Amino acid sequence: MGSSKSNQTSQGVKKSIQGKEDKPVRPELSELLHRLSLGLDENRPKAVERRRRKNQRTARKNLEDLLDKDSFIEYGALNIAAQRYRRSVEDLIASTPADGLITGVGTVNASQFDEQKARCMVMSYDYTVLAGTQGFFNHKKMDRLLNLANEQRMPLIFFAEGGGGRPGDIDAAGVVIAGLDLSTFGLFGKLSGKVPLVGIVSGFCFAGNAALLGCCDVIIATQNSNIGMGGPVMIEGGGLGSFRPEEIGPIDVQSKNGVVDITVADEAEAVAVAKQYISYFQGDKIDWDVADQTLLRDMIPEKRRRSYDVRKIIKTMADRESFLELKPGFGLGMITGLLRIKGKPFGLIANNCQHMGGTIEANDADKAVRLMQLCNAHGLPVLSLIDTPGFMVGPEIEQQAQVRHVCRMFIVGSHLIVPFFSVVLRKGYGLGAMAMARGGFHESFFTASWPTGEFGGMGLEGAVKAGFKKELAAIEDPKEREKFYNDMVDMLYENGKAINMASYMEIDSVIDPADTRKWISRGLKSVPPRTGREKHLPFVDSW
């Protein structure tokens, strides 16, 4: 694969040339083939064995698994570390192939999508070369490829394992002091919103490597990952103590705080998930399957205050095996991800009533907003499944800057240029429900409700307690007071039932849950096609 495949091809050419007695191999070709072969895994047994002992794969093995066969063009395969003044060239060729960064262009999922849409830029730090650090020439190489990705609008898949900046590249000492004028980080950040950016980590990822990783749209990390803006050397150098790398940014921390979007077991699963993730931005799928949609009719409990698993609804509604959840350990009151409906890709936000009843907190809002921004940047329609009593309130929650965080949903939602469809599953209360519908029930392309939908300016129970406070206090008999309370709740429920809401045109329709996919599919067909991506209107983020 990758350069492995191209080099194997070169070796095959060499053999065929050698097989012809009248065609000896020219010295310059022989030198090239030998030089390229030195970077192959089969000629680096010690490095490969070190990876095997850590239950990790080599950089070239990961790229071979990711890219379609015979599709890789490698850039900079002949680079070596900028250390010629301290080591022999022969040593550098053998020990620092590609200067620790394998880069190039290939295709991913070309058998499923148009080959042009399958094109991807790939970059992989090689931990077997100077711990995957960022050297002088691999920075130069990365800048070359980042400019190319920007020019050609190619998605980037980035394997980020490594220890950050490399202080040992002394060849550049005469022209570089601190190296803070390099373009890599600016070029990488400039790609955000222009092309999908996928970051993958297995093992240690610190400092400059982590800074690039953090610019990615999505981060896929294995269980053995440690991610931090500073590694042990930087931490100790800053006088902050001595730590083992395993103590810095372990996966349980980085998945709960939202840094990592998808946690996987190992690199094989990371590559598989990366191929699935990038597929949503490569086009529609012709072949798809789906569960019996009548099952949706009974997934909301008859008792209106009983919780249910909204993930089960999502997976039933979506094409089979098409739902990919993002940040499941962060913002537990909100579920976000990517899925397909009749082969077409969508982004999804959904309230999770199994956490605080689906009330929206700061982290939940940030999670939903990031999904909306991702879809807006790359042209995916958004589906919102609503079941929320509103935004979380109270003195404690305001310590989390709730006002600024949750209002991001209104600002970002109102600036979306992609189709937005809202479906109310059950509770649609207050500002939180409006935020889930892009700012209001008439802001989405359609807002439909299942028959179980119930609506109000605030939760029914709270509305009765606040609105009938005097009446409740005046009733001395506890049983009579409870009966009055329940009667008021029932009255408000009848008034705010989905069918009544629809009769006042506050929502567009009430639908059979089994028809939800039909509504979404027909709605998407009804949206005028965009002949060109309108320029995103600027706005000031509330946070």
Of 348, 419, 361, 415, which Cα lies nearest the Cα of 388?
361
> Using 50, 70 and 90 to split pLDDT, how confident is the model at 4?
very low
Asked if 127 and 204 sit in the same domain, the reply is yes
What does the pLDDT read at residue 21?
A: 57
Asked if residue 489 and residue 400 are part of one domain, the reply reads no
Give the C-alpha distances (Å, rounded to integers) separating 452 from 435, 506, 507: 20, 16, 14
346 and 250 share one domain: no
pLDDT at 3: 44
Instruction: Select the more confidently predicted residue: 465 or 22.
Output: 465
Q: How many CB atoms lie within 10 A of CB 494?
A: 11
pLDDT score at 535 = 59
Query: Which range, of 38-52, 126-140, 162-176, 293-307, averages the lowest pLDDT?
Result: 162-176
Share of the chain above pLDDT 90, in %: 73
What is the distance, to the nearest Å, from the Cα of residue 462 to the centroid of all Cα atoms in its chain? 37
Q: If you average pLDDT over residues 385-414, what whole number do you get?
A: 95
DSSP state of 247: G
Q: What is the pLDDT of residue 532?
A: 52
Q: Residue 96: which domain range?
A: 44-279
pLDDT, one tens digit per residue, over 194-252 is 999 999 999 999 999 999 999 999 999 999 999 999 988 888 888 999 999 999 999 99
Over the chain, what is the mean pLDDT? 90
Give residue 534's pLDDT.
57
Confidence of residue 294 (pLDDT cuts 50, 70, 90): very high
Helix 460-467 vs helix 478-495: crossing angle, to nearest 10: 120
The reply to whether 60 and 168 lie within a common domain is yes
What is the greatest pairwise CA distance in the chain?
Answer: 112
Query: Is residue 345 a part of any domain in this protein?
Result: yes
pLDDT exceeds cutoff 80 at 29: yes
Q: Does 389 lie in the same domain as 480?
A: no
The DSSP string of 368-424 is HHHHHHHHHHHT--EEEEEEE--B--SHHHHTTTHHHHHHHHHHHHHT--S-EEEEE
Predicted confidence at residue 22, as pLDDT, reads 65
Question: Per the domain annotation, does 22 fall within a domain?
Answer: no
- The answer on 251 and 214 residing in a single domain is yes
Q: What is the pTM of this model?
A: 0.91
The pair of structure tokens assigned to 157 is 């898949």
Does residue 10 register a pLDDT over 60?
no
- Asked if residue 442 and residue 308 are part of one domain, the reply reads yes
Residue 346 tokens, joined: 């969508």
- pLDDT, position 502: 94
Instruction: Check residue 529 and give its pLDDT.
Output: 64
In a shared domain, residues 212 and 224: yes
Instruction: Kindly report, residue by residue over 326-367, the tens digit of the pLDDT.
Output: 999 999 999 999 999 999 999 999 999 999 999 999 999 999
Give the lowest-confidence range in 9-18, 174-183, 238-247: 9-18
Confidence of residue 2 (pLDDT cuts 50, 70, 90): very low
Kindly state the average pLDDT of the residues 303-311. 94
Q: Which of 16-25, 38-47, 176-185, 388-397 has the lowest mean pLDDT?
A: 16-25
Q: Say yes or no to pLDDT of 15 above 60.
A: no
Rounded CA separation 258/336 (Å) = 12
What percent of the chain shows pLDDT beyond 70?
Answer: 93
Element (H, E) at 474: helix 469-474
Please tell me the total count of domains within the chain: 3
- How far apart are alpha carbons 385 and 520 in whole angstroms? 12
Any domain includes 30: no
Q: Which CA distances in Å does 26 have to 23, 32, 39, 305?
A: 9, 10, 21, 80
Residue 164 contacts residue 227 (beta carbons within 8 Å): no
Instruction: Report residue 415's pLDDT band, with 50, 70 and 90 as the boundaries.
Output: very high
Answer yes or no: is 241 within a domain: yes
Together in a domain, 274 and 346: no
Position 28 in a domain = no
Report, as an integer, the average pLDDT of 150-161: 96
Domain C-terminal end among 248, 279, 310: 279
Choose the weakest-confidence range: 49-53, 255-259, 271-275, 467-471: 467-471
* Confidence at residue 355, expressed as pLDDT on a 0 to 100 scale: 96
> Which position has the higher pLDDT, 82 or 256?
256
Determine, yes or no, domain membership for 474: yes
Domain co-membership, 271 together with 326:
no
Which strand ranges, in their side-by-side order, compose the sheet holding 197-201? 73-75, 101-107, 119-125, 156-159, 197-201, 218-222, 262-264
Q: Are residues 312 and 444 in the same domain?
A: yes
CATH number of the domain residue 336 falls in: 3.90.226.10
Residues 314, 448, single domain; the answer is: yes
Q: Is residue 407 part of a domain?
A: yes
With a cut of 70, say whether residue 175 has pLDDT above it: no
Q: Is residue 539 part of a domain?
A: no
pLDDT of residue 7: 44
Task: With cut-offs at 50, 70 and 90, classify the pLDDT of residue 457.
Answer: confident
Q: How confident is the model over 35-58, as pLDDT tens digits?
A: 899 899 999 999 999 999 999 999
516-535: pLDDT as tens digits? 999 999 999 998 766 555 55
pLDDT band at 543 (very low <50, low <70, confident <90, very high): confident
Higher pLDDT, residue 466 or 321: 321
| Stronger pLDDT, 110 or 82, i.e. the higher one | 110
Q: For the residues 49-74, what does the mean pLDDT come to?
A: 95
